[in-house]
């Protein structure tokens, strides 16, 4: 069980549930492009491939994957936007 009070605070949320690869990643990327450095994006997806995609994207783009979890078939990600 996850204590939702311990989850990072998000500045913006993206609901990518029901979307197939690569759409959850693209939605996250578009949202992050419109955010300021240091802000946190919360992404929800149902595509299992998002686990690999989001982690790799964060690594390559320099963003910080603060937390990733799976609950009831949904994948939840918190990403802090990198400094320019």
pLDDT digits (tens, 9 = 90+) for 14-48: 999 999 999 999 999 999 999 999 999 999 999 99
Inter-residue long-range contacts of 57-61, CB under 8 Å, 24+ positions, other chains counted: 57/25, 57/28, 57/29, 61/29, 61/32
- pLDDT digit string (tens) for 62-84? 999 999 999 999 999 999 999 98
pTM equals 0.89
Which is catalytic among the residues 10, 19, 21, 65? Answer: 21
Q: Establish whether 7 is a catalytic residue.
A: no
């Amino acid at each position: 069980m996850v204590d939702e009070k311990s989850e990072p605070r998000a500045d913006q949320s993206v609901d990518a549930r029901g979307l197939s690869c690569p759409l959850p990643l693209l939605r996250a990327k578009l949202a992050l492009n419109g955010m300021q450095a240091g802000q946190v994006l919360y992404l929800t997806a149902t595509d299992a491939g998002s686990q690999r995609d989001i982690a790799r994207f964060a690594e390559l783009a320099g963003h910080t994957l603060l937390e990733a979890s799976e609950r009831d078939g949904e994948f939840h990600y918190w990403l802090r936007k990198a400094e320019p």
